[in-house]
């Protein structure tokens, strides 16, 4: 029996636009609720959300097979990448990538030898159904999807080298951090920033990699969709809940 098929990765390769939602609340019940609302993918945020290893595990279980889960790690720490894969994440989004060498090391961290250095502990791992998947070690590499975030001037300068790395399935443009690094703190929608963002997304796609981005601005989101962005997040559990509550209260002001 092989490792479970990663349909998110398969659809990226086909060039489809998959619509996602950010999970920042760190609650499995919220993750379960969101998983049943029709999004193609949900991202469990371990960089800015209060999500450690066990929090992520609980949300992966809550999401189950309802939709595809993407896990954003805190950083490119090799041990954390290994643990996230062992608890069942098949798609990782790794933030703050600023060189081709760093990108290559993330890929190595996510793959078993001879293509990488992921530690072998499948017999203890949820990823292999606790050793219930006999061919997990031989088939896991093909189903791991590595997404990298470029969100700084240094990342933009190194983009060609990042895109050239084998095993990088997609590159996500982080507009908030990029805007800050370009001198537009808190203004990711500024025309000067958006020109760079759109040019970067096009460059990623031209290189044959999947391009991704997050925005809660629906006008920008529609533009990214028309551009053909392959993985597009259009909001977050935090934003949707707060927006809904404010609207409900305002209706009875």
Closest listed residue to residue 139, CA positions, set 27, 40, 6: 6
How many CA atoms are closer than 13 Å to the CA of 15, on its beta-carbon side? 8
Residue 48 annotated to the active site? yes
3-state secondary structure of 150: strand
Check residue 166 and report its DSSP letter.
T
40 DSSP 8-state letter: S
| DSSP H/E element including 63 | helix 53-63
Task: Say which of 48, 78, 187, 203 is annotated catalytic.
Answer: 48
The partner residues of 146 in beta bridges, in order of sequence, read: 92
Residue 115: CB atoms within 10 Å: 14
How far is 197 from 224, CA to CA, in rounded Å? 10
Rounded to 5 degrees, what angle do the CA atoms 49, 211, 226 make?
110
Beta strands in the chain (DSSP E): 18-23, 41-45, 68-72, 91-94, 145-150, 170-173, 210-214, 231-236
Length of the chain in terms of residues written: 253
Give the residues across from 18 on adjacent strands: 231
State the DSSP H helix or E strand holding residue 171, giving kind and residue range, or none if neither: strand 170-173
Partners of 29 in beta bridges? none
Active site residues: 48
């Amino acid at each position: 029996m092989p490792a479970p098929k990663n349909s998110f990765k398969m659809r990226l390769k086909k060039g489809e636009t998959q619509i996602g939602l950010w999970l920042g609340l760190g609650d499995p019940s919220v993750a379960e609720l969101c998983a049943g609302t029709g999004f193609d993918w949900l991202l469990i945020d371990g960089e800015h959300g209060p999500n450690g290893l066990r929090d992520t595990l609980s949300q992966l279980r809550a999401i189950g097979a309802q939709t595809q889960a993407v896990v954003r790690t805190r950083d490119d720490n090799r041990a954390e990448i290994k643990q996230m894969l062992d608890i069942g994440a098949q798609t990782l989004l790794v933030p703050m990538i600023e060189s081709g060498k760093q990108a290559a090391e993330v890929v190595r961290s996510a793959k078993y030898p001879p293509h990488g250095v992921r530690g072998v502990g499948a017999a203890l791992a949820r990823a292999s159904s606790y050793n219930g998947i006999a061919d997990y070690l031989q088939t896991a590499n093909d189903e791991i999807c590595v997404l990298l975030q470029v969100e700084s001037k240094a990342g933009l300068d190194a983009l060609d080298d990042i895109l050239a790395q084998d095993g990088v399935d997609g590159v996500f443009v982080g507009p908030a951090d990029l805007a800050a690094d370009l001198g537009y703190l808190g203004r990711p929608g500024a025309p000067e920033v958006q020109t760079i963002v759109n040019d970067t997304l096009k460059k990623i796609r031209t290189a044959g990699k999947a391009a991704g981005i997050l925005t809660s601005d629906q006008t920008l989101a529609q533009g990214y969709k028309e551009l053909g962005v392959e993985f597009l997040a259009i909001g977050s559990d935090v934003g949707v809940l707060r927006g809904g509550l404010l609207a409900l209260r305002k209706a009875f002001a």
